[in-house]
Structure 1
Amino acid sequence: MRNEEPAGEPYSSRPVRRGALWGAVVWTLGVLALLLALPQLAGDRLPDPVATHWSGRDPDGSMSLTAASLFPAAVWLLTALGTGAALRFRPGRGRGAHGTVLAATGVLLTGAQTSIVHANLDRARWQDAAPMGIEVVLIIVAAGAAGVLTWLATRPAATAPAEPGTPVLDLPAGQRLVWLSSAANPWMQVVAALFGLLSAGALLALVGGLGMPDWPGIVLFGLSSVVLLLCSSVRVRVSPHGLDVAFGPFGLPARHLAPGELVSARVEQLTARQAGGWGYRAYRGGSTVFLRRGECLVVRTKRGTDFAVSVDDAERGAALLNALIARADAPTR
């Protein structure tokens, strides 16, 4: 069977975007909740009005406690709605910029809200609020870092186009084809975002002086968020160099298997029970990256173990990988 790619189209499937959408929704609602809750949680320890603007290190402007909660929340909602509108009506423009704006603005606003609460805490008047200094620099740096990391995590991966008219399985000498695909589990990404927000909220409350430190809870939720995020999405690449599997939004950690290390590739239909559970699992004499039920790309290594990953368009990935394995095993003259 000779399947061919249309001219000019990459030999890959489109990446799954539901997880990113759900992550943006959870991030938007979580930041909104923090902006509204932080001043109210400390309401009995804050003056009314509270200082909200500083000239140099000294406060020179104020808002009522209610306005101090609603104003940044309104700015955040307008930012989220504007970003959502841009993504809806101009999806192809500045891909990756939408998440960057949401991440940087969310960190900037929550950091500013936390610093305002901390500066006004246990003050009789807003004019007595603590001066602002290094906090401003740290908030700006944190917002910039969040934007850069989000851009790195959401930028489109480079794809290598196939030659038009090139057969999938028959690889002439010197022919180089690349197959790219991805898969994600949106529910794991949502839970990771929730755990991250819980950890961040507890840390912000601690920084703002609103409670006793609960370091075990902060660390537990933070680590759980990172582990779930790394296990919730995968990008797979088959090239003349072999099979590359990259985990999480940053493509780290990653696993590489050269064609010479493999015996064969195949497609299996698996359920969570058959795969041993969700995420990264050591199971069935090998390991499995299981993100959704259905077709999985399974490779048998020369050590006798299997490695399976649930990914879209697995059949063509296995076909190309088998061709590369056959080429690697062919005797050289």
Structure 2
Amino acid sequence: MHTTRRVLVAVLPYPLVCAAVAGAYRSFRDRLPHPMATHIGSGNKADGFDDPGAFLFVSLGVLLALGVVFAFLTWLTRSAPGPQQRGVAATGGGVAVVLGWIVVGIIRANAEVGVDGDAATVSLPGWQAGLGFAAAAVYGVLGWMLAGRDEIPAPAGERAPAGAARLPLAASESASWTRVVGGRAQLGVGAMMLATAVFVGLVAGWPGGLICLGFGVPLVVLCRVRVSADRRGITVTPAALPWPRLNVPLERIEEATHRPVNALRDLGGWGYRAHPGISGIVLRSGDALSARLTTGSEFVVTVDDAATAAALLNTLADRERSIGGKV
């Protein structure tokens, strides 16, 4: 692994961008209107205003905070197989580039109006934001290459042991099991993306903010899921919504058990994960419901009390097979 190099790929643009923002402010501060335009809304018209010094302080604070966040995320994914850590590092640097580009563009646009000008007349052409995203994409590609490649380790596939437990049920009895599980990693990244969306929306317009919002909202919505085990098999849905729904039917489950799962080592991260021979929903490391499927692959879900869910699924699967596939 090249963790040190990748942390640098993620973090190095942030102090450089902060220096560029501070340099632009120092060069143009005598020409900035008071208050200055800090947001360009629909129709390319300024609709948000603030003191120039406050704008500089907030901009630098957000950039430095994001640098710390991406440094931590890059370090956190040091044990992840495959391209996960490289992607986090390249994305982190790209975010710095696009935000810095937009902030400098806002400062220059205000300077063109002049200290005695009307900040309401400040405009920022859409192509400026487009160039910012293009520059971020270029850095992302370069960062990906500079981060270096590594071997993708085989997943730690501890298979369900033979003779897994059963939950006693009479022939006429039915039962279901459900638990809610959450993950802090998704919530943290989602919250960061939402904060970035607000910042981009305020300084560059909401079209750019909506892009970040499109990444942040699903992460926040899916940071808590409900896991159910019953005659339908394994079902996973967001805790607060009925959709999207993931279901592994009972007839596809050969045997179920529980085992410890390390999110990074075994599946390379959090969320829905898929690797050769193993897939699943991993919101945290720890105990997981593990289903050995009829295809020979394994499906896992990290959740509390996984042993009870596994025992129930084994009983229901036995009943399914004993009565010719009808529940």
Normalized against structure 1, the TM-score is what?
0.44
By percentage of residues, which structure has more helix? 2
Normalized against structure 2, the TM-score is what?
0.45
